[in-house]
Structure 1
């Protein structure tokens, strides 16, 4: 074994992926990188404590990595000293395909970069010198397809502009302490998948190819009312989307502008644990003539879904999607379906002509609980007694054991 170990001792020099977490000895890492002998470095993952490692050492490390034709770089900077400024000289790496920057990293880009091979970019809580640094960074990523942005501090940028012609996927998360005046402008003509978590002003200027959208607010309210009704503005820009998920903390004030029709929408997911959630449901049904799949979800932040403050008032006219297109109806995650919720379910069953399958999934706290079993049987009997518009509709009733993992974060 001692003979074999000598042969193995240098095998690490040919490894394509290197990872250094929470290290405090940059000279050792320098020697490792300088000793690396592979033709290229596939991936380098660095987690740095800036209280112990100087900015100069960090810059040297990345310079060595870029000289090895690195394809993926992950850099997280921790500590309480000043932020590490990502070197502008390294913003022209032709081999880099994936870049992740996190925490105490400062983006100071006074002129456009040139990262021609970059396809995936994660900006996790980083800081920016100004609005122009955001524009100059993203405009230089001419092949970028996947962008993930997590904003924590908003004071550095007032208008966060995402203008990337090649972008296909965008995930945008904003935290509670964001500046209320911050605005996000999205100009991405190739964008297909959009996920937003936050309560900011979003302006979508040019995204005609959107396929799937997920909108979740942070439930930031003042005296029970949302700080900003950003959902209305977003919905104006999403009339061409095909699949949509809405997780909104309040439906009380949401209204559609006249003429907003979702002509391409075929699948809708709506969370049902906020008062008068059915107001938005009716609006969406009326505005989505081609809807084929409707999913109602009772889960959101672990709250009880039975929060209705007013009785369900069914629409005067039956929406066209119920008459001609809806085939699948799913109601998932309910702990208890109240009287108003039952009326909504009955309305869907009575008026959906082409419905093939309706699935109701209840959450129970413990197996063989007599109260849960009684309520479930009562619900099944009541819904099965409904005269369904579609003679071929199959009713399915399921139960899942409740756990914290059942809830979305």
Structure 2
């Protein structure tokens, strides 16, 4: 091969030889402004930029606001793809600056956008345009930070399946009702609230809903009412007020994560969770109940965070209420030791739970140290009574095995186990 031919092959533009579909996929992984910069390469690249299915724009305070708005609007107006798959718009306003985001969103809706993510950072809340609550092609809507939802009438978002509301503001209770009532096929709802002074009741009445995440970290009192007959996955976090949550109808929940929730809230809602197969609990204070009125007949996998004094009361309560439990995972957290100044000690139950006798196969205890006598007694009780147990794993997050911990682990090895086939694993 002569030198001239070798040089031609070396300088050959192999990327431009790739099919359009693959090039568009590559461009979707880089910021839109960088993708637009490729338009100067050739007419083909200029055409590809106008066909990009996913667009992402963000405005920084150092940029010229008017120029940014004009550039985005011009780019959207020249867009030629049959469907705009997604638009991510992030705007960071300085005090006193304004921008008509509604015009940009209107253009995007005219392009039949399917996924819209709007993040606004501003001193004053940005009121989401009411004229855009009737987009028939929108499948995913994600709103964050300084967005205000003022919905004076029922909306019509017939294709919306995923809705994420991250620390947005609400004009009133009716705005929540009007928004959700217009989402007839909504399957996934994620609500994160850090301040909601204008809400008394946050009503989630969505028959089609399957996945719900509700996170609240605010001193403002709001009652969350959940009515979702086809809900499969539930994630609640941060509800500490006694009457902050009311579950009216969730007969099909399969998996639930209840985190940093007060014992009173859990006592109020546990009766609506009896259909779960997998349940994770991190309850913020000891339970007052000594018996549940409902039985968790479907529960096969239970996870409990043992970070509060008397956490074993919750454990025993759940064991006696879960006759078919097969997997139990306990997660210790170090800071809880500081709170153990005064509490009721562990007391061995008079009756062994049915699941320990007939069902439990796997026990995992993360961060097991064995320093606390109550913890040791609980561990020994489990080994002594779980007659079907196959593996019991006691682990730590660090790899150091102190002499004291090794001594505690030897104590577990010496326990007379109810299951002859149980394998102890220490990591």
TM-score for the superposition, normalised by structure 2: 0.84
Which residue in the other structure is 1:170 paired with?
212
For 1:109-128, list aligned pairs within 5 A.
Answer: 109-128=151-170
2:54 alignment partner, one of 12, 17, 26: 17
Provide Cα deviations, 1:93-121, integer angstroms capped at 9, x if missing partner: 11111000111111111221111111110
Which residue in the other structure is 1:273 paired with?
307
Which residue in the other structure is 1:233 paired with?
268
Which residue in the other structure is 1:186 paired with?
226
Which residue in the other structure is 2:116 paired with?
73
Indicate conservation of the 8 Å contact 2:271/2:293, yes or no.
no
Which residue in the other structure is 1:47 paired with?
90
Provide Cα deviations, 1:223-250, integer angstroms capped at 9, x if missing partner: xxx6x72121011221222211111222
Q: Does 1:5 align with 2:5?
A: no
Structure 2: distance between partners of 1:90 and 1:179: 29
1:373 alignment partner, one of 388, 399, 402: 402
Structure 2: distance between partners of 1:4 and 1:115: 39
For 1:57-206, list aligned pairs within 5 A.
Answer: 57-81=100-124, 83-175=125-217, 177-180=218-221, 182-198=222-238, 199-200=240-241, 201-206=244-249
Indicate conservation of the 8 Å contact 2:144/2:165, yes or no.
yes
How many Å apart are 1:256 and its aligned residue? 5.3
Structure 2: distance between partners of 1:310 and 1:254: 12
Indicate conservation of the 8 Å contact 1:334/1:363, yes or no.
no
- CA 1:256 to 1:238, structure 2 compared with 1: closer, same or farther past 3 Å? farther
Which residue in the other structure is 2:18 paired with?
none
How many Å apart are 1:6 and its aligned residue? 2.4
Indicate conservation of the 8 Å contact 1:272/1:305, yes or no.
no
Indicate conservation of the 8 Å contact 1:152/1:174, yes or no.
yes
Provide Cα deviations, 1:104-142, integer angstroms capped at 9, x if missing partner: 111111221111111110001111111111011111111
Structure 2: distance between partners of 1:266 and 1:277: 20
Provide Cα deviations, 1:260-281, integer angstroms capped at 9, x if missing partner: 2212211111111211111111
Which residue in the other structure is 1:285 paired with?
319
TM-score for the superposition, normalised by structure 1: 0.87
SS at 2:350 equivalent: coil
Q: Does 1:259 align with 2:293?
A: yes
Indicate conservation of the 8 Å contact 1:243/1:267, yes or no.
yes
Structure 2: distance between partners of 1:10 and 1:17: 15
Which residue in the other structure is 2:376 paired with?
342
Q: When you count helix as a share of all residues, which structure comes out higher?
A: 2
Aligned pairs, number: 378
How many Å apart are 1:178 and its aligned residue? 3.1
Q: Does 1:384 align with 2:410?
A: no
For 1:354-373, list aligned pairs within 5 A.
Answer: 354-364=388-398, 369=400, 372-373=401-402
Indicate conservation of the 8 Å contact 1:173/1:197, yes or no.
yes
Q: What is the CA RMSD across the aligned residues, in angstroms? A: 2.1
Q: RCO greater where, 1 or 2, for CA within 8 Å and sep 6 or more?
A: 1
- Which range is displaced more, 233-242 or 98-107? 233-242
Q: Structure 1: which 5+ runs fail to align? A: 219-225, 399-409
How many Å apart are 1:151 and its aligned residue? 1.1
Q: Structure 2: which 5+ runs fail to align? A: 1-12, 14-37
Provide Cα deviations, 1:46-92, integer angstroms capped at 9, x if missing partner: 1123447635x2111000000001010000111113x2211121111
Higher gyration radius (CA): 2
Structure 1: distance between partners of 2:285 and 2:176: 32
